[in-house]
């Protein structure tokens, strides 16, 4: 079945008792036990296992092409579970341009867990290869990267990793399974901040990890989910499934809008540079074309001038809301360098855009008048 059909039916079932088309939310934290001590329906306690969470996990695993999915209370809880699943002494390679939550975790917490790490330029295979050590267990990819929209070649990197027995995880938050299928390109794990496009309405916090196959790493992630308890709650799982039903229409429009915004900004006299892999002069354009079905709805651009100028452009927009996060129906604009750690390499004149579902000419006009003000 096509992924768009699967998505349209997310969270739907033919409930034998009521005939309901949409699955109910199971809020119960505990479940009946038989007099012989067994749990014949498989549910014991909602931290371990919950019918609504299960349905979400099974659906996302199917859509990503994985054997297992574990869901969490946020994208960072999912990230944390992957790192915690590694044995102390492990070495991890992370991108030099990546969501700053991972940078913070690496800088401030990996050491406490006995995990060492190196940063690599994920657009350069030699740079990654040079950083692999006998202790390396995991390569972390985010493509397009945040906020510079760099493109990593998932297939080549997973081939390199396999030669060294190293796992590869891809953060697919920005692309969703509709735009990119890392497991089909050789990755072992996919992670999502469900908070963004999957839920899609800026009103759910959640995370998920999908494993291509049951491995010691995926089993360890499942153990951490159950034992540490940062699980996705049933209402968030239900809201996420509701969001996923309209993902393909939302994302199509958002991607079209983003492409138009990128082209408009690329021709604007007050813009220094636009970072969007859909532009033919983007250094990762040809790889993006191969591994993505569309170029996404996120982009960043550098204004001519310094941080003050970028702040003043963001201050003038009326339709673009000034806020962090992404993937909702409303367009957002954000000065990234000032929200990232001090070590951030993000240019001070860079603004990141999450493109929503508004009428595209309204978005173009809003940016044009903010730039001219």
Ligand X SMILES: Cc1ncc(COP(=O)(O)O)c(C=O)c1O
Interface residues with ligand X (CB under 6 A) are 74-76, 99, 101, 142, 146, 171, 173-174, 193, 195, 205, 207, 325
Considering 53, 68, 97, 99, which one is annotated as catalytic? 99
In the annotation, is 99 catalytic?
yes
Q: How far is the CB of 79 from ligand X (least distance, A)?
A: 6
SS3 309: helix
- Least Å from the CB of residue 2 to ligand X: 26
Catalytic residue among 68, 167, 181, 196, which?
196
The single residue of 47, 119, 121, 131 carrying the catalytic annotation is 47
**Whether residue 196 lies in the annotated active site:** yes
- The number of angstroms, rounded, from the C-alpha of 329 to the middle of its chain's C-alpha atoms is 16
- For 170, the enclosing helix (H) or strand (E) is strand 167-171
Least CB distance from residue 70 to ligand X, whole Å?
14
Cα–Cα distances (Å) from 49 to 12, 28, 135, 248, in that order, read 19, 11, 34, 29
* Bridge partners, 15 (sequence order): none
Is there a contact between 25 and 52 (Cβ–Cβ < 8 Å)? yes
Active-site residue, selected from the candidate residues 68, 153, 171, 188: 171
Residue whose beta carbon is closest to ligand X? 75
Smaller CB separation from ligand X, 23 or 106: 106
Q: Is 212 a catalytic residue?
A: no
To the query of whether residue 171 is one of the catalytic residues in this protein, the response is: yes
Cβ-contact 141, 154 below 8 angstroms: yes
Of 55 and 76, nearer to ligand X (C-beta) is: 76
> What span, in angstroms and rounded, lies between the C-alpha atoms of 349 and 308?
8
Q: How far is the CB of 255 from ligand X (least distance, A)?
A: 17
How many helices (H) does the chain have, and how many strands (E)? 13, 12
Up-side HSE of residue 168: CA atoms within 13 Å toward CB? 28
What order of strands is seen across the sheet that includes strand 350-354?
271-275, 298-303, 350-354, 332-335, 321-322
Nearest by Cα to 271 from 368, 340, 345: 368
Nearer to ligand X, 244 or 271 (CB): 244
The residue (of 75 and 328) whose beta carbon lies closer to ligand X is 75
| Residue 188 or 264 having the CB closest to ligand X | 188
Q: How far is the CB of 3 from ligand X (least distance, A)?
A: 21
Which amino acids are annotated catalytic?
Answer: 47, 99, 171, 196
């Amino acid at each position: 079945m096509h992924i768009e059909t699967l998505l349209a039916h997310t969270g739907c079932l033919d409930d034998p008792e009521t005939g309901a088309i949409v699955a109910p939310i199971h809020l119960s934290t505990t479940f009946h036990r038989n007099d012989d001590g067994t749990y014949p329906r498989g549910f014991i306690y909602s931290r371990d296992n919950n019918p609504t969470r299960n349905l979400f996990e099974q659906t996302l695993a199917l859509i990503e092409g994985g054997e297992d999915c574990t869901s969490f209370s946020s994208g960072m809880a999912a990230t944390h579970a992957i790192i915690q699943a590694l044995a102390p002494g492990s070495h991890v390679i992370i991108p030099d341009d990546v969501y700053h939550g991972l940078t913070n975790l690496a800088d401030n917490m990996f050491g406490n867990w006995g995990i060492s790490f190196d940063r690599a330029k994920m657009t350069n295979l030699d740079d990654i290869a040079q950083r692999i050590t006998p202790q390396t267990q995991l390569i972390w990819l985010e493509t397009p990267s945040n906020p510079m929209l760099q493109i990593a070649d998932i297939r080549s990197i997973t081939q390199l990793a396999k030669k060294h027995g190293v796992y590869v995880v891809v953060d697919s938050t920005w692309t969703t399974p509709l735009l990119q299928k890392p497991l089909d390109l050789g990755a072992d794990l996919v992670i999502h901040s469900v908070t963004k496009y999957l839920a899609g309405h800026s009103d759910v916090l959640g995370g998920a990890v999908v494993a291509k196959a049951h491995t010691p790493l995926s089993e360890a992630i499942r153990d951490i989910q159950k034992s540490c308890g940062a699980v996705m709650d049933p209402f968030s799982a239900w809201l996420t499934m509701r969001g996923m039903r309209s993902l393909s229409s939302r994302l199509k429009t958002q991607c079209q809008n983003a492409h138009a915004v990128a082209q408009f900004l690329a021709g604007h006299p007050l813009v220094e540079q636009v970072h969007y892999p859909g532009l033919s002069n983007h250094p990762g354009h040809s790889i993006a074309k191969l591994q993505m079905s569309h170029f996404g709805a996120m982009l960043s651009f550098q204004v001519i001038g310094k941080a003050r100028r970028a702040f003043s452009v963001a201050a003038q927009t009326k339709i673009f809301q000034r806020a962090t996060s992404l993937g909702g129906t409303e367009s957002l604009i954000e000065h990234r360098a000032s929200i990232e750690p001090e070590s951030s390499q993000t240019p001070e004149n860079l603004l990141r855009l999450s493109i929503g579902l508004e009428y595209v000419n309204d978005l173009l006009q809003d940016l044009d008048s903010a730039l001219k003000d």
